[in-house]
Chains A and B, each alone.
Chain A
Amino acid sequence: MLQVSELYLQIGDANILNGVTLNADSGDAVGIIGPNGSGKTSLFNCLSGFVFPKSGTIRFKDHDITALPPFSRAERGIGRVFQSFGIFREMTVLENLMVALESRASIWGTFLPWSKGSRSLREEAKGYAAQVGLSEKVQHKAGSLSGGQMRLLEIIRALAFGSELFLLDEPTAGVSPKMKEEVANLISHVQSLGKTTLIIEHDINFVQSFSKRVIVLDQGKVILEGTPDEVRSNERLQEIYFGKRAHNN
């Protein structure tokens, strides 16, 4: 489904990505870990089109999408969940979901408020809100939700939009331990629907529970790849991630 080869990204004088190559098949669950500044979020920005690489290619569903803008990639099925909550805070929960669902509307449907199907879209949006326990809050501003609820809304909104590849950038950042479990359940649900997930996380246990494969990035390079157990027991990971060598020294 996703083939990334030899991706180089330069911002100013800094080399952010230095030849990243990775693949993900349909239904794959890939965890991406690495120390701060290793290029994880920049890699997601490249994949979703918010920054363009200096060289290298990104292929999605057998099409070269390297030069496509973000909205075209989203239309093709690449969904993004942002580290810093990509919700529309001044809009209600229902409106947030409607923006995702209305992307399917025709030109008439875009400009006419009472077009055919708008009522069914509203019901569908309420259904998605119910899936994440936000039925009571559909008319509340999204900015009034807790961090966990915002994250649930953002993930379910990507599902409502019809994304096939989910780029989840630290989905548990800013989420309380109690809500973390609900976010985890929702990610499991997304995976059970056969969607492909790439998850950036610092919490290795969290990554382990959702990933069949883990990729370790350091200084913009893939330095390790394997099953969660293989990666976890690897000495090099201990070195760069936990600073074991530094500690021993």
Chain B
Amino acid sequence: MEAVFGLVGWFLSSFRSAEYFIHLAILVGIYLILAQSFNLTIGLGRLFNLAHVAAYAIGAYVTALGSTEMGMNPMQCILASALLSGLLAFLLGGIALRLAGDYFAIGTLAFSSIISALLINWKSVTRGVLGIPGIPRPEFGSISLGDNSRFLVLVIGVVVVSMGVFYLLFKSPFARVLRAQSENRNAAMALGRDVRLINTTAFFLSSLFAGVAGSLFAYYLNYIDPSSFAFSEMVFLLTIVVVGSPGSFWGCIAATVFLVLLPEPLRFIEIPSSVLGPMRQFLHSIVLLTVVWINRKRIFPAQREV
């Protein structure tokens, strides 16, 4: 196993500017898991879940605290991140899914704000805006993933497994009924479908994988603070799903790669770093507005008269 990590790591790092491309590949990998899991709820189920970044944050903080304070091993940290994010979403889903349409979105936004406030103000645990530094890179026995190229192998492995699971889910009868209830809730119930259970399950699975993405993110950066989980991240995820066509498995993958890499050429232009950050959001906004404008008839269809 160590030989595989070593060999692939050596191969990747042998390229010129490899470090930079490895960094991009890791980011794309983490966002693939995060965006595809978001696509499950908002794309297939039309559940306007604005708490997805909160699940991502929970995953990241569980890994950060687990590895720095509790001495948990990487496998325990990743599993705990996934399960805790999933279970909190399950509880939230049980409450918020009683609300319909826009009210559901407001309910999830409220949850997201609570998590955000906790991360900033529960200083004894999260260290507030100072964040949690010194998150060690995972070690599996004698295999250390301190090197980015080796860490990328882990990310690729998790992405392949996650995308495999999502591919099966998107093709499954579960996805079909998720789409059905999003179109006509009463008709789905008249066909014996427990719509709330279906949505809660989708919510759980979606947040479970967001937790995994959060765990990888914490391990990769070695440091996390609340600013990484701001509402702008939610808007970025929404942009990915809309650009990739909501509910489309392959569209979401293509949009993630495109949108994560889109602002990268700006790095090679001499722009002050204070401008570079807002420029990234500006670019994403332009892409989002363009796609919404092109698809305006599909996204905002005329009200049916009959």
Q: Interface SS of chain B: helix, strand, loop or mixed?
A: helix
Residue of A whose beta carbon sits closest to that of B187: A86
B50 at the interface (CB under 8 A from A): no
Question: Which listed residue, B186, B191, B306, touches A161 by the CB 8 Å rule?
Answer: B191
Asked if A74 and B168 sit within 8 Å, CB to CB, the answer is no
B 151-177 contacts with A by CB, 8 A = 168-169, 171-174, 176-177
Asked if A74 and B190 sit within 8 Å, CB to CB, the answer is yes
Asked if B180 and A99 sit within 8 Å, CB to CB, the answer is yes
- Evaluate whether A113 and B173 lie within 8 angstroms (CB atoms) in the complex, with A88-B180, A90-B179, A90-B183 already known: yes
Complex: how many Å from CA A102 to CA B177? 9
A236 at the interface (CB under 8 A from B): no
Asked if A50 and B186 sit within 8 Å, CB to CB, the answer is yes
A71 at the interface (CB under 8 A from B): yes
Question: Which listed residue, A69, A89, A103, touches B183 by the CB 8 Å rule?
Answer: A89
Chain A: minimal CB distance from B257 (Å): 25
Chain B: minimal CB distance from A117 (Å): 11
The interface-forming segment of B101-109, B131-139, B192-200, B284-292 is B192-200
Residue of B whose beta carbon sits closest to that of A86: B187
Complex: how many Å from CA A69 to CA B192? 10
Provide the residues of chain B in CB contact with A184, threshold 8 Å.
none
- Evaluate whether A88 and B183 lie within 8 angstroms (CB atoms) in the complex, with A102-B173, A111-B169 already known: yes
B14 at the interface (CB under 8 A from A): no
- Evaluate whether A86 and B184 lie within 8 angstroms (CB atoms) in the complex, with A48-B190, A74-B191 already known: yes
Question: Which listed residue, B174, B183, B192, touches A74 by the CB 8 Å rule?
Answer: B192
A-B CB pair tally, cutoff 8 Å: 87
A95 at the interface (CB under 8 A from B): yes
Question: Which listed residue, A69, A70, A98, A157, touches B173 by the CB 8 Å rule?
Answer: A98
A82 at the interface (CB under 8 A from B): yes
- Evaluate whether A113 and B183 lie within 8 angstroms (CB atoms) in the complex, with A71-B194, A75-B192, A99-B191 already known: no
- Evaluate whether A86 and B190 lie within 8 angstroms (CB atoms) in the complex, with A71-B195, A174-B306 already known: yes
Asked if A88 and B184 sit within 8 Å, CB to CB, the answer is yes
Chain A: minimal CB distance from B155 (Å): 25
Asked if A91 and B168 sit within 8 Å, CB to CB, the answer is no
A213 at the interface (CB under 8 A from B): no
Asked if A110 and B191 sit within 8 Å, CB to CB, the answer is no
Q: Which residues of B contact A (CB under 8 A)?
A: 168-169, 171-174, 176-177, 179-180, 183-184, 186-195, 306
A48-B190, A49-B189, A84-B306 known, 19 other contacts, Cβ within 8 Å:
A50-B186, A50-B189, A70-B186, A70-B190, A74-B191, A80-B190, A82-B186, A86-B187, A90-B179, A99-B180, A102-B173, A102-B177, A103-B192, A103-B193, A110-B174, A111-B174, A113-B171, A157-B191, A158-B190
